[in-house]
Amino acid sequence: MRGEPPALSRHQAIRLVEGSYLAATTGLIWLALYYLPVGGALFRLALPLPLALLQLRRGGRSGVEGLLLSVLLMTALMGPVRGPLLLFPYGILALWLGWCWGRGFSWWLSWSVGVVLGTLGFLMRVLVLSLLVGENLWVVITRAGAGMLERVITLLHLPISADLGSVQLMALVLVVLQELIYVLSLHALAFWIFPRLRSSIPGPPRMLHGLVALDPL
């Protein structure tokens, strides 16, 4: 009959269901990260993986659609500020890693650019949350950087004092170090978990074989 939409093929139906499921999974992890008092570190590690898996299995278009669906869902549930924060850095990282893994690129490329994206996304989150709460949250990070710098100066008996510029630099170094560990952990988790889901990512560089050999799963 005229006017009836064409029936979905089996492949299209699987793609639609899988995309919706993984987008919803991302949304649930985002909600848990915000509202559950425990497990924050685990939720952060898990957050980019469903969308990265979706892009790895179904291609870049499905990955982008899944991310948009997750953001729209979280915007409806959490409001126009916290919902879109899913993009920074988790959503962007998910798309980047899924794209790199799907094309078989080296860990060095996906890791290094991932660290840059993660750092920029973290700084964007700090900016948006600072505007939201009406307080400069970067001050908290610079305090941690000042404490770290003072310990280094004391430990090494350096004949210098911590000025504002060095404190800001140390705070940025701490953020980058955090992202180095975080993005590498995402690679290791995907390398361990995705083959169990009938997907896989490129193998690690020889230098990192010892790390991924410690598969806890």
Residue 100 neighbours by CB distance under 10 Å:
23
Q: Would you say residue 174 lies in a domain?
A: yes
Q: Please list the pLDDT of the chain residue by residue as tens digits (217 residues).
A: 455 656 667 767 777 888 889 999 999 999 998 888 788 889 999 999 999 999 999 888 889 999 999 999 999 988 888 888 899 889 999 999 999 999 999 999 999 999 999 999 999 988 888 888 887 878 877 877 777 777 777 777 766 666 667 778 878 888 899 999 999 999 999 999 999 988 889 989 888 887 776 666 6
Q: Would you say residue 2 lies in a domain?
A: no
Total structural domains within the chain: 1
For residue 21, give the CATH number of its domain: 1.10.1760
User: Which tokens belong to 153?
Assistant: 């100066």
Asked if residue 182 lies in contact with residue 118, where contact means CB atoms within 8 angstroms, the answer is: yes
Structural domain of 32: 10-212
- Rounded to an integer, what distance in angstroms lies between the CA atom of residue 68 and that of residue 39? 25
